Structure 1
Amino acid sequence: MSKDNQSPLDGFLEILIQQHEKSAENINTALYDDIVNTAEILKKTEDDAVRTEAVASLRNRFKNEDLNQVTDIFIYCQRFLSENDDPLPMASQLCISIGKLFTNENLHYAVGKVYSRDETESGAALSFLGYLALIEQHTFYVLNFIKENFAGFSPNNKTTCVFQLKEILPDNEIAKQIVVNSGITRYELSFSTDIDSSSKPITFQTGKVDGSFNAGMEELKPKRPWWKFW
């Protein structure tokens, strides 16, 4: 079918395919497969010993690898595996677990991705850093970076970052300061098209930062959050 006769839907699907192929070129497929295969093992068992051993084995597999690749794989997983009812797929959770091996150099790499011109990549990288803040040795680095650079984040990244910190680090003083200083009290994400940048952005809204948000987030949490047993 010629592009002149191509339907808008076909054109959109073609763009998605191109994005997928381009993103796949940027990841180590062997390491990605190891993560996905381990994720499948974890999905099939509730045995804590088996799960712990599988995660430890995977982490050991990455000890001699370029850990910057883990950031790229997390971004890929969030872009192509994440769904509304599974916003943080098991493969992404495993990337976070491997993040225990990260040095400051690896954190620097993830920070660089936050400034990508691709908003999806940028948002996923910032989300990854947020989850890495749950790992004690990375907490100060990540929260200090967010605190010092928050003003430069995109509006969408500011919003998602604030709600992520409120959810996963509700008792951390630096995280609470970031949330309060942001002035953000509603979950609103705006999108406009490249074709018509003057078009009115689409805005998604939920309630204020209160019990209704926390109740909604409970439904989004994995049944057994990785940080609770890994």
Structure 2
Amino acid sequence: MPAPHNSFKARLKSGETQIGLWLGLGDPSVAELASHTGFDWLVIDGEHGPNGLRDVLAQLRAIGDRCSPVVRVRNDDRAEIKQMLDVGAQTLLVPMIETAAQAAEVVRSIRYAPRGARGVGAALARASSYNAIPDYLQTAETELCLLLQVESTKGIEALDDILQVEGVDGVFIGPADLAADMNHLGKPDAPEVQAVVNDALTRIRAAGRAAGILTSNRSLAAGYQDMGVEFLAVGSDVGVLMGGLKALRSAF
């Protein structure tokens, strides 16, 4: 019996746009609720959200197989990546990637030796259904999906080299940090920023990789979808809750 099938990874190659939602509240009940609303993928945010290892584990369990969970780790730390994989994350989003060498090391972090450097301990872990999947070690890599987040001018300058790294399934452009690095702090919708974003998304897709981005701007989201971006997040639990509550209050 092989490792569980990663439908998110499989669909990245289908030509469709998978629509996602960001989970920043770090709450399993919110994750469970969101998993019933029809989104293709949900990001469990371990970079900016209040999420530790057990928080991520709880949300993975809450989401189940109703949609595809994507775990954004804090950084490219190999030990944290190993733990997230062992608790059952199959799709990782790794932020702040700026060089091809850094990207290659992240690839090594998700692969077992001799192709990589992931520690072998899955027999104790949820990833292998607690060793109920006897050939997990041999089949895990096929079902893992690695998304790298490029969000600085240095990363944009190195994008073409990053895209040549074997083992990278997709590249996500982080518009907020990119805007800040371009001296447009808090203004990711600025025309100068969007010109760089759109060029980057086009280059990613031209290189045969999946392209992704997050925006709560519906006009921009529609444009990205028309462009064919493969994984598009269109909001967050925080934004939807705040907006809905404000709208409800204003009605009275």
Per the TM superposition, whether the score is higher than 0.5 is no
TM (normalized to structure 2)?
Answer: 0.30
Structure with the larger RCO, 1 or 2 (CA within 8 Å, 6+ apart): 2
Higher helix share goes to which structure?
Answer: 1
Q: Which has the larger radius of gyration?
A: 1
TM-score by length of 1: 0.32
